[in-house]
Amino acid sequence: MRIWQIILLLGYSIGIAGGQLLFKQAAVTLRSGGDAPTPFIWSAITNVPLVCAVLLYAALTGLWVYILSITDLSKAYPFHALTLVLTPMLAARLFNEKLNGSFYIGLAAILVGIFFIAWGADS
């Protein structure tokens, strides 16, 4: 796998993690709406983090299709696992979510696996 493919895959994974954080922020915003007279659907449609998350995911879908046009799915898809690392770590930082020791053990296993896939590939 070439370095520019890895850079695209890293950017994709970071983008997906960012989208998940936007979805969480949208959920927090919608939940804090309380008994507002505005219907939930309208609140969701006008929720800026939600709209940004959907637009980001649309753009990332295009990037993913491009990545798959230049990279084998079997080599690209494991990079998606980086979102399993990035999203909880950023959620802990931004939303004060708690992570335990088993998370960090799993994180290490995921990173080692991605390393072997990225640098062990023959292309």
Report pLDDT digits (tens) over 36-91: 556 778 888 889 999 999 999 999 999 999 999 999 998 898 888 889 999 999 99
* Dist. CA 86–CA 13, nearest whole Å: 8
CA distance 23 to 56: 11
pLDDT > 70 fraction of the chain, expressed in percent and rounded: 92
Dist CA 5 CA 22 (whole Å): 26
Instruction: Sketch the domain layout of the chain as residue ranges.
Output: 3-120
pLDDT at residue 36, rounded to an integer: 59
CA atoms within 13 A on the CB side of 17: 21
Cβ neighbourhood burial of 94 (10 Å; 0-12, 13-18, 19+): exposed
Mean pLDDT is lowest, of 9-13, 28-32, 73-77, 102-106, for: 28-32
Give the predicted TM-score (pTM) of the model: 0.83
